[in-house]
């Protein structure tokens, strides 16, 4: 049996108030409209739901039985409406973001702090990984958006460019003799090179650059975090390839210096990645607006 929900709504208010006229006021209807809706519901069930008394109307035994279910349904509907309003107003909910440790630490942290201050009811869930990891998280529905290095070529994904980073090679005092020399890529490779893991976008980019000059970049040390890239270079274990914005402190204090090259390294673009043709949650939309 398929019955219009509006009939149940009228029934609920008539039973709750014990009056067709009060139900009409609550629903902004006329009293005849309420009477007609109740008659339709009774005709559908073939059961009398109300009988009149001196004060208005009262439920029959069958009507009271129906009301016990409709009341629960109405409570749940009201609760759902309150929850949806809270979600719309960002009073509660969840925002799931994927990104690398370095992007969270050196770029996203101020935005996350601002978002949390503005919307303290929204729970933040951060998923760490390389760019391929973040793409997988997004496609599996584990995150709402990912912050990754570009380019990303995937018809299922939409990427909004946000800002650019500049990568560079840095070294510690053990390589001070290279401070005033512009090295060729071939000359650079005569020294131990420290790179991030194979699956990172930064690693892919620098490998492709060397290949374009007919060189095969072979790192002596591979690490899984930017902090280790920085620390290994400071300790003189080799020359690390890092994002300049992530080592500004070390460059300013002199514990690291930038290796000068005779070629220009291309900038690295960072973008916010989402699933194409999939609606974004309200927290995700608000965060993207904050970052862009």
- Express each pLDDT in 111-153 by its tens digit: 999 999 999 999 999 999 888 899 999 999 999 999 998 888 8
Q: What is the pLDDT of residue 224?
A: 85
Residue count of the chain: 292
Calpha distance 240→192 (Å, rounded): 9
Residue 199 has pLDDT above 80, yes or no: no
Picking from 178, 161, 158, 188, the residue whose alpha carbon sits closest to that of residue 265 is 188
Residue 281 has pLDDT above 70, yes or no: yes
What domains can be seen in the chain, in order of their start residue? 5-88 (1.10.10.10), 93-158+276-291 (3.40.190.10), 167-266 (3.40.190.10)
**pLDDT, averaged across the chain:** 92
User: Between 97 and 81, where is the model more confident?
Assistant: 97
pLDDT tens digits, residue range 26-54? 999 999 999 999 999 999 999 999 999 98
Say whether pTM exceeds 0.75: no
Residue 201 has pLDDT above 90, yes or no: no
Helix (H) or strand (E) holding 186: helix 185-188
β-pairing verdict for 56-59 and 50-53 = antiparallel
Residue 79 has pLDDT above 80, yes or no: yes
Instruction: Please report the DSSP string for 205-261 in residue order.
Output: HHHHHHHHTT-----SEEES-HHHHHHHHHTTS-EEEEEGGGSHHHHHHTSSEEPEE
What would the mean pLDDT of 69-93 be, rounded to a whole number? Answer: 87
pLDDT tens digits, residue range 151-167? 888 999 999 999 899 99
What would the mean pLDDT of 193-198 be, rounded to a whole number? Answer: 88
Share of the chain above pLDDT 70, in %: 100
Band (1; pLDDT cuts 50, 70, 90): low
Share of the chain above pLDDT 90, in %: 75
pLDDT tens digits, residue range 223-239? 988 999 999 999 999 99
Residue 85 has pLDDT above 90, yes or no: no
């Amino acid at each position: 049996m398929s019955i219009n929900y509006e009939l149940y709504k009228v029934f609920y208010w008539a039973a709750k108030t014990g009056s067709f006229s009060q139900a009409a006021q609550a629903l902004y209807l006329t009293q005849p409209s309420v009477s007609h809706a109740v008659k339709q519901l009774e005709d559908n069930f073939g059961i009398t739901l109300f009988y009149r008394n001196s004060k208005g109307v009262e439920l029959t035994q069958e009507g009271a039985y129906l009301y016990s279910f409709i009341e629960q349904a109405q409570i749940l509907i009201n609760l759902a409406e309150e929850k949806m309003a809270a979600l719309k107003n960002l009073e509660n909910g969840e925002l799931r973001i994927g990104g690398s440790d370095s992007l969270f630490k050196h770029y996203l942290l101020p935005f996350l702090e601002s978002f949390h201050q503005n919307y303290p009811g929204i729970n933040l869930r951060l998923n760490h990984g390389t760019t391929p990891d973040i793409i997988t998280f997004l496609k599996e529905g584990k995150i709402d958006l990912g912050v990754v290095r570009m380019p990303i070529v995937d018809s299922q994904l939409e990427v909004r460019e946000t800002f650019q980073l500049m990568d560079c090679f840095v070294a510690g005092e053990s390589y001070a003799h290279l401070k005033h020399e512009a090295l060729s890529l071939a000359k650079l490779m005569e020294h131990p090179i420290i790179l991030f893991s194979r699956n990172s976008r930064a690693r892919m980019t620098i490998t492709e650059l060397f290949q374009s000059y007919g060189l095969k970049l072979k790192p002596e040390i591979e690490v899984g975090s930017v902090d280790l890239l920085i620390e290994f270079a400071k300790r003189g274990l080799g020359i690390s390839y890092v994002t300049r914005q992530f080592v500004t402190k070390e460059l300013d204090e002199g514990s690291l210096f930038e290796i000068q090259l005779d070629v220009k390294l291309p900038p690295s673009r960072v973008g916010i990645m989402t699933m194409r043709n999939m609606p974004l949650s309200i927290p995700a939309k608000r965060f993207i607006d904050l970052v862009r």
